[in-house]
Structure 1
């Protein structure tokens, strides 16, 4: 799953927390604009892959000149937080391409490392789910319910249900309001996806796989409504383990049982 796959198609309308005339003493307008944009990225309001409003919209929303906006955007691009493409606007960078290259080589060298990465994603996802319990709004939860309604449609194919699952998880990640979480997950998940593609194998979800994902997502909504952080964290890990088992159908572990299975066997 890639968090950036569910980035907003339309640019956001951003509202600064403070006005430019209340910026810190000695702080330039451009630096203030950059700080405000970084605040939106850090809070998750601007998620990996999201497209920013245009310079004119930012200028109007923040009551500053387009020159200051342009300078702020250049500053954030230099920091690696934003990127722009001719005619495609300016986006929040999902990841630094150089960041996960060594990790990709390690994961691609051994199928057990691929499964280890999938298991680690579950632990990180658990953190995000617990955060979402604290920060998810009623609107966030309603959006997730709408995805579940589509996912549960009679006759919907398992592959489309797996895509619905990605949409649901992206909404859950946004509800965490943690830019750090979303960026870390983007690196891990894109690395996992690239490693799977490198195997040349395609993972086709079964009907049972899709129904299991739907069940976990329904339980997640219940945990969010109950504001049960511990339950949400456990469900997130169980969901990630289901995804890992789906990977195992295509790329099995090489003679090593998952840690959870080993622990269970040891306690038996």
Structure 2
């Protein structure tokens, strides 16, 4: 089935919706590689940059997966938009508490199940985090995804990837113009060491400690707002 040509307004949104419709209608099955950016751009009558941005949206939504050098593949035909919308509407404290639960359990399992490849990936993610700086959200997410990968639990991996892309957005909205707390590189290092040593308790505790400062920041902000409301 050919894709309908996108209109002149909201091109990215239009392409996103058309691709979602194609996925829901079974145009491509889970595991299939979708057409290239060039092919989609020709079918839609839009530029490749528009297609690239639309695909990026669907990757973050969990519907597609980009594989370096291989193309973009279908991860799911079930649109998670409704669930993600619910996450956006949840309070920042709720989101952080859920993140703490997920990441603490992931670190515990990683310490028990990690293999040599996992440890190399964790060290590489930590090195990137150091290089990119303590406020690089993408590098921080890549680190935590490496921890989750080390659990060797496919269900855990999918749930975390589905959820984690929304966390930063929720926290930025909650803190407004205030700066997000910087990433603590030393605490990330401690988690890696605990996983390397197979110390499940230390890994779990370290993962929870990583989120202590953001949670304290939010709590302080909530108290400040209460005072302003009086």
Match of 1:147 among 125, 134, 137: 125
Instruction: Kindly report structure 1 stretches of 4+ aligned residues shifted beyond 6 Å.
Output: none
1:195, 1:159 → 2: CA distance? 16
**Compared CA separation, residues 96 and 203, structure 1 to 2 (3 A):** farther
Q: Give me the TM-score of the superposition, normalised by structure 1.
A: 0.50
Gaps of 5+ in 2: 1-25, 37-70
Is the contact between residue 129 and residue 172 of structure 1 (CA under 8 Å) also seen in structure 2? yes
**Compared CA separation, residues 145 and 191, structure 1 to 2 (3 A):** closer
1:226, 1:85 → 2: CA distance? 42
Is the contact between residue 28 and residue 34 of structure 2 (CA under 8 Å) also seen in structure 1? no
For 1:189, the equivalent position in structure 2 comes to 164
For 2:212, the equivalent position in structure 1 comes to 241
**Compared CA separation, residues 102 and 83, structure 1 to 2 (3 A):** farther
**Compared CA separation, residues 76 and 230, structure 1 to 2 (3 A):** farther
**Compared CA separation, residues 199 and 216, structure 1 to 2 (3 A):** closer
Match of 2:88 among 104, 108, 120: 104
Deviation string for 1:102-123 (max 9, x for gaps)? 3433x1xxxxx21122122101
Is the contact between residue 103 and residue 191 of structure 1 (CA under 8 Å) also seen in structure 2? yes
Deviation of 1:253 after TM superposition, in Å, equals: 2.3
Match of 1:116 among 76, 94, 100: 94
Q: CA RMSD in A?
A: 3.6
**Compared CA separation, residues 132 and 169, structure 1 to 2 (3 A):** same
Q: Greater relative contact order (Cα 8 A, min sep 6): structure 1 or 2?
A: 1
Deviation of 1:137 after TM superposition, in Å, equals: 1.0
Deviation of 1:235 after TM superposition, in Å, equals: 1.0
Q: Does residue 1:137 correspond to 2:108, yes or no?
A: no
Q: Does residue 1:253 correspond to 2:222, yes or no?
A: yes
Deviation string for 1:71-130 (max 9, x for gaps)? xxx6994xxx6686432532324972122333433x1xxxxx211221221011111111
**Compared CA separation, residues 198 and 90, structure 1 to 2 (3 A):** same
Is the contact between residue 95 and residue 186 of structure 1 (CA under 8 Å) also seen in structure 2? no
**Compared CA separation, residues 140 and 85, structure 1 to 2 (3 A):** same
Gaps of 5+ in 1: 1-73, 108-112, 258-268
Q: Once structures 1 and 2 are overlaid, which stretch shifts more, 191-200 or 175-184?
A: 191-200
Q: Does residue 1:228 correspond to 2:209, yes or no?
A: no
2:83, 2:99 → 1: CA distance? 17
